[in-house]
Amino acid sequence: MITPLILLCIRSIVTLIFICFAIDSVAGVTRNYYIAAEETLWDYAPSYPINPMHQGEFSTKEKVFVAGDGKQRIGHKYYKARFIEYTDDTFTVIKPRAVEWEHLGILGPVIRANVGETIKVVFRNKTQDMTTSMHPHGVFYKKDSEGTHYHDDTAGKDKQDDLVASGATYTYTWEVPERSGPGPNDPSSIIWLYHSHGNETMDTNTGLAGPIIISRKGMLQSNGMLKGVDREFIVLFTIFDENKSYYLDKNIEVFAPYAKDQKDDEAFKESNLMHSINGYVYDNLPGLNMKIGENVRWYQLALGSEADLHTPHWHGNTLLSAGQRIDVLSLLPASHVTVDMKPDNPGIWMYHCHVNDHIEAGMMGRYTVQSDNAKNVSIKNPK
């Protein structure tokens, strides 16, 4: 028999539990981002015609991909679209990219959160006439925040997240439950992708992709750094197929007007396959700088087609991947891998895809490990 006193205790406990859940809900963190898709003129090889790896002119093979002639080859500059971060929902002031993220290159801004938080992205399509969206991997979203255009159970409804028209704005809400964060064998944070998914092949080849970093509860600090991690690097290996870019016709018109009738020419199509690391080829990737003994987290990403089978290789130092010691990783299109390095070997080291064809086509860069007494060095794009 339940006495009045026991009943009162039960009610008090239930009330206390309810209050705790309510407080936790109110205290939940929402991280707001203001991101636009917009046209840009992108340079895959700012150092051209000087190749810092060889200290001289580009080879004949290299010139296939970077040497425009103003007539039949586009070269190393292409009109593309990028995700750009702004300071607020007026989309008037671009948020400066911090120096530690200069290596991101063509990638969109880093979206990040701890497990248990909410991500809210106010997205504006600032391209002139391209339809875009934002589709995330890994996080929890409802149908109105999927950002993907296909026949689903919302057919016939007003689903504005699928295709955001030029000049339009849409707000995506993504939750970050436990299943979106690091698993039992993962480090304290893991990487996911986001990208436009109206016409995924065209949208990603045009350049609309970026990273999401999810960390365990409490690991992402107010200063934007992870506990126990000194540096983070995000790297996307992909062959941007400019033949399938939204801006192909514009790039031909501006940079190779005599090629407008040669879109099916195999040599022309080959010249538009940009084997890039974060949108850079032939050792133009900047900003991969660290010091000996630091805890360095590398996030590895890939996108593309059946040719995008990548094997990132670090010279000079080794890493840990799920407890295994490695210096080479395997990546498939749309894969996400997080690995840790504690560099012990100072120097300027090669960092590249180990697939032979990809090496020849320019999928290579450098990273720098400074000794304790070395002056700060920053490898930037040579001018």
The catalytic site residues sit at 353
Would you say the C-alpha torsion 144, 148, 149, 153 has a positive or negative sign? negative
DSSP type of residue 228: T
Taking the C-alpha atoms of residue 52 and residue 227, their distance in angstroms, rounded to an integer, is 36
Cβ atoms 118, 31 nearer than 8 A: yes
242: helix, strand or coil: helix
Taking the C-alpha atoms of residue 341 and residue 339, their distance in angstroms, rounded to an integer, is 7
Phi, psi of 308 (to 5 degrees): -90, 60
Taking the C-alpha atoms of residue 378 and residue 290, their distance in angstroms, rounded to an integer, is 9
The sheet with strand 189-195 has its strands ordered as 111-114, 209-215, 189-195, 135-136
Q: How far apart are the first and last CA of the chain?
A: 85
Nearest to 301 by CA among 279, 284, 319, 323: 279
Nearest to 299 by CA among 121, 101, 136, 156: 101
Beta-strand pair 209-215/111-114: parallel
Contacts of 175 (CB under 8 A, 6+ apart): 118, 119, 139, 140, 141
Residue spans of alpha helices (H) in the chain: 4-27, 60-66, 200-206, 248-255, 266-271, 356-360
Cβ atoms 286, 107 nearer than 8 A: no
For 303-329, letters b (16+ CB in 10 Å) and e give bbeeebbbebbbebbbbebeeeeeeeb
Phi, psi of 253 (to 5 degrees): -60, -40
Both tokens assigned to 42: 């992108």
